[in-house]
Chains A and B, each alone.
Chain A
Amino acid sequence: MDFGPYLMLATLEGAVTAAVLALTASGLALVFGVMRVVNVAHGEFFMLGAVLAWWVTQMLGGSAVMGFVIALCVVPVLVGCLAALTDMVILKRISYDPERTIVATIGILYIFQQVTLMTYGPDARPVAPPFNTRIALPWIDFVDGRLSLYWPWGLSITSYKLAVIASAGVILLALWLVMTRSKLGLMMRATEQDRDMALAFGIPVEKVYAFVFGLGAALAALAAVLIVPIQQAHYLMGGDPLLLSFIVVIIGGLGSLPGAVLAALLIGLSDGIISVFFSPTLAKILATLLVAFVLVFRPHGLFGVRRG
């Protein structure tokens, strides 16, 4: 394959990573932004999303499409409710004290992981994609001085991967609309900016916190349901998304949603491209170096704003 088509293939693979990462990292950024909570258990909500998607599709049996669509609707809500409950039972009790929440969420991480190991077992299990046609992609080239379209051998992507990219875009757009246009979004942003003033104007901050923690987890779960037909569900699968989300949130500017999305694109796409042309290890090394540079030279993130 020529360089051009090869680059396009790498970009598309990177876009799938970026899409899933953008969703997961948005959840982490939202929770940190509004609640100032560093949720170390974020990756476990991702893992629960994938594992529950497997449960739901298994229990329903029947057609892959039906099972998957139902999982896509039900699983994020289930995980979101579980997270909201975790917030009310554990984080609220320790008054969201920054140090104690880190320790508490580490505890939550192990509880979810071990309970999953005990019930679901140590195996990685696949979920059938609802559709998976391979689509050959065209490439444009100059032949004899004029443009012509051709289909290079090997340049293709599955319809499901395209759907993952599109769904992530739609979900992020919806999230943005909720944050900027709805009363709920206004409540979350007011709480984020000044918790006491939010209370002084009747915003039930405790409920907002439970909701935000649930929403953050639901975004991770949504990402997991989308990726599980490509990746398989496993009880230890939460580690990578957690690490990558932290990288993204640091690069994007702590707590900034647009920053997280931009940084996810940067990390996801460069990961895809560097993995294809060089090696996946180099991609991880570069991402880690980038984080180090951002921390040293732009501690508020590449896209973040300094908080007053």
Chain B
Amino acid sequence: MLQLENVSAGYGRAQVLREVSFAAKPGEILCLAGRNGAGKTTTVQAIMGLLPLMGGSVTWKQIVLSDLPPHQVPRAGIGYVPQGRRLFGDLTVGQNLDIGRFTNGKDLHALDDVLELFPRLRERYTQRANTLSGGEQQMLAMGRAMCLRPSVLLLDEPTEGLQPSMITAIRDATAQMRDRGVAVVLVEQRLDAIAALADQVALLENGRLRAVLTREEVAVDPQKLAHLLGV
């Protein structure tokens, strides 16, 4: 399990997250929901070790991720698809995927799997990442993280600003990762996506955990989630 216990974090001296706790299980999708500015991206960055914690801890299996230097976090099997994609824009598609494979140089199949899942990336293999369309860039961001063969996958609003066909492709890939036993943390705002994918929903509000709902609770009372999300 990926376990957050009383995680507090922020930028410089400004605290954003206050004692957030939740757990994501292998083979399940935990949706992290909340309005803009609620602290979703901050939470994901804190898990990656990109923000120093002001308190609490993040653990995956027996490994205390929050004690590791940031570059060791992906080596523990944590894959990251950041908000806004943040590709290495001057590098080619192939080089971006190579960087995803740095931590598992021995696994030669990871790249084949990604190119099979997103054939578009094979066509664009030698093209620079910043010449791709938005949807292709998102596939590359996803593929880059999948090349790492993650056991935990953090996806920060992966379908933001995409056209419907691309949204489907990304959601299918997300579901596929879950089916392979990956613990998925998906930052998502859309109710339909949450209803379709979430095994658990963790709701953030002003940097605090407002509620954790199970799949059943969401199914029984969709209005409750809508109300909590303020939509």
Contacts and interface: CB of A to CB of B under 8 A. Distances in A.
Interface of chain A, helix or strand or loop or mixed?
helix
Interface residues of B, number: 26
B89 A193 contact: yes
Nearest to B50: A196
Contacts of B49: 199
B228 to A, nearest CB: 30
Given A194-B86, A197-B86, A202 B91 contact: no
B89 A190 contact: no
Interface residues of A, number: 18
Interface string B73-107: 11100001010001011110001001110110000
A201 B74 contact: yes
Nearest to B98: A186
Interface string B181-218: 00000000000000000000000000000000000000
Contacts of A201: 74, 80, 99-100, 102-103, 144, 148
A200 B88 contact: no
A204 B91 contact: no
A308 interface: yes
Contacts of B50: 196, 199-200
A201 B85 CA distance: 13
A189 B48 contact: no
B89 A202 contact: no
B71 A202 contact: yes
Contact of B71 (A186, A189, A193, A203): A203
Interface string B105-118: 00000000000000
Nearest to B90: A193
Contacts of B134: none
B89 A203 contact: no
A187 B101 CA distance: 12
Interface of A: 183, 186-187, 189-190, 193-194, 196-205, 308
